[in-house]
Amino acid sequence: MFGARLQAAMDEHGPLCVGIDPHDHLLEAWGLPCTVEGLREFSLRTVTELAGNVAAVKPQSAFFEQYGSAGVAVLEETLAVCRVHDLISVLDVKRGDIGSTMGAYARAYLDPASALAADSITASPYLGFGALEPAFELAQTHDRGVFVLALTSNPEGAEVQHARRGEAVEGFGDTVAGSIVGQVAQRNLAASPQGLGRFGLVVGATIGSAARELGFDPSACGGPILAPGVGAQGAGISELIGVFGADAITANQVLATTSRAVLGAGPDGLQAAAKALNLSLKQVG
């Protein structure tokens, strides 16, 4: 099952997930052109260097899509190389729609018949949590994972995520974000009452006390938590413990996500940077 697979990878390789975010300045720092060829070299080198050293990688779809169909072809190849190396992929697409459109997105990213299929995806529930049902169904059918956006670190997110609904979800309060966490917890409990579920959350590692102040614990979701913001954005082990608690960290429920802190080390420094950051993230207490 996806949750168990991810937890086993974290147990073996550490809690780090590296985002594959091919910004122009990173391509240039690597001595690569800002072209499809540079994109391909950057992405495939990152996967091959990090396989066996991190639990997962997170390709950001937008950086590939900006190159058009040729960029999407590189994304397909990147995901294929992840599969060859048995490296768990979290495809950061943040898709969220309704009806047949959401169904098409789900088939694109979660059906193994698709060239864009990943081990897991990020999804936005802000057209309604129930609108993500096609993704949940396909993830269940094909043993994939879905990370649902709950509490993001961007300041603009608070106006929706912190809003009060006027109706509480038991144990998770009455905010929009709390409702998302509660509904993910209910789904995991129904689908996989034992162990780490396949349905997770995206919760920023730099949100500080926001979850506590809103009246819920993200780690109660019963699934993995993708926590962007580690490294260059300022979060380390103390910030992760502050947001999620030491128990969630030591249980390898939290997949700590970084990009620049590893990618900025250049193609020859990827492994060393990942190992150093992984080691620092294991220092709980």
CA angle 276, 264, 77 (to 5 degrees): 100
Q: Which residues pair with 254 in a beta bridge?
A: 225
212 burial level (CB within 10 Å; 0-12, 13-18, 19+): middle
Alpha carbon distance 22, 268 (integer Å): 16
For helices 36-50 and 270-281, what crossing angle results, to 10°?
A: 50
Q: Which long-range contacts link 108-111 to residues 24+ away (Cβ below 8 Å)?
A: 110/135, 110/138, 110/139, 110/142, 110/144, 110/146, 111/138, 111/142
Question: Cα 45 from chain centroid?
Answer: 20
Question: Cα 78 from chain centroid?
Answer: 16
Q: How far is CA 57 from CA 9, 49, 224, 228, 274, in A?
A: 12, 11, 15, 12, 11
Tell me the one-letter amino acid at 59: P
Alpha carbon distance 69, 60 (integer Å): 15
Instruction: Say whether 94 is catalytic.
Output: yes
Residue with tokens 């599969």: 83
**CA-based R_g, the chain, Å:** 18
Alpha carbon distance 179, 166 (integer Å): 11
Residue 284 phi/psi, 5-degree rounding, is: -90, 135
Residues annotated as catalytic are 94
